[in-house]
Structure 1
Amino acid sequence: MADPRKNVKRERIQAMFGGRCAYCGSELGERWHIDHVEPVLRQLQYEQGKGFFKTGKLHRPENDREDNLFPACIPCNIDKGTYTLDGWREKLETTCDVLGRTSATYKHGVRFGLISETRKQIVFYFETVMTEVPTTLATVKPPRDLRTRLREDV
């Protein structure tokens, strides 16, 4: 049986921004994620023949607290992954450059006027609706890419 306290917590987090994703502002449907704004970095272990799997332990357990949780649509949470806010913002702001280098379809879209690049600064939805950003979400340097860390651990 589901823990009713988890449901209350989940409802409280979903309501933080009026049922919208804290990052892109899209309406959250029935399926959405709770994101750790400052990542917890789940520890993975490698097993020959099986690959990587979660151990249940965290590299940054101090970030696993309710004041570090935001509601996120699934695409935003998956794309943000283990980035800090500033690290993810930088990644998003280079999207046009990355697509211009790696996607022939994108290049054709630009050439034929189907895509118009805007090159604007990323402003997250929560930044437009919160009058004060909590100090727990202060800017910090983005962590090294998790895959690099895993390669070093193996």
Structure 2
Amino acid sequence: MKLTKRKREVLRTKFGGCCAFCGSDLPARGWHVEDIGEVYVDDGIAPVCTECHSSRGNASPEAFRSMLAEQVERAERHSINFRTALRFGLVSPTLTPVKFWFERCIAERSESTSVSSLNISSAA
């Protein structure tokens, strides 16, 4: 998706300068604009780091979430390095559901909106 420099920067700022999926800091250049759908974010487009862009491919956010949820099991099955790190307590798998950065941003915005509306109504 082609955007002007200004629109790209506005999009990047909208997500706090972070990848919409993993939340890592985005450089000024070298990240992707992806259409993830209006179901997920306003306007349907989001900034995505090169790592998430490569990992996700053309998967929907829900399919990407499923792919990520399988990573620990896959690493345990196929990686001697991961199994060694597990044995020595260097890593520990968790059963935390995958929550994308854009979901956390939306939750924070709605919380701050409801807090500010509470402040406005209590001041009246």
In the aligned structure 2, how far is the partner of 1:81 from the partner of 1:36?
12
**What's the TM-score once normalised by structure 1's chain length?**
0.60
Residue 119 (structure 1) shift: 2.1
**Contact 1:23–1:126 (8 Å) recurs in 2:** yes
Q: Measure, in 2, the Cα distance between the counterparts of 1:101 and 1:121.
A: 20
- 2:10 corresponding residue in structure 1: 12
* Identity level (%): 31
The structure richer in helix per residue is: 2
The answer on 1:103 being equivalent to 2:79 is: yes
2:58 maps to amino acid: T
Q: 2:32 aligns to what?
A: 33
Greater strand content: 1
TM superposition score normalised by structure 2 = 0.73
Which structure 1 residue ranges, 5 or more long, are not aligned? Answer: 39-65, 133-154
In the TM superposition, structure 1's runs of 4+ consecutive aligned residues that sit over 4 Å from their partners are: none
Q: Residue 119 of structure 2 aligns with which residue? A: none
Q: Partners in 2 of 1:73 and 1:17 — Cα distance? A: 12
Q: Which structure has the higher relative contact order (CA within 8 Å, separation 6+)?
A: 1
For structure 2, the 5+ residue unaligned runs are 110-124
CA offset at residue 71 of structure 1? 0.5
- Cα RMSD of the aligned pairs, angstroms, is 2.3
Task: Measure, in 2, the Cα distance between the counterparts of 1:18 and 1:114.
Answer: 31
Deviation per CA, 1:41-96: give whole Å up to 9, x if none.
xxxxxxxxxxxxxxxxxxxxxxxxx9221011111111111110110001111111
2:4 partner SS: helix
Q: What is the alpha-carbon distance in structure 2 between the residues aligned to residue 93 and residue 101 of structure 1?
A: 14
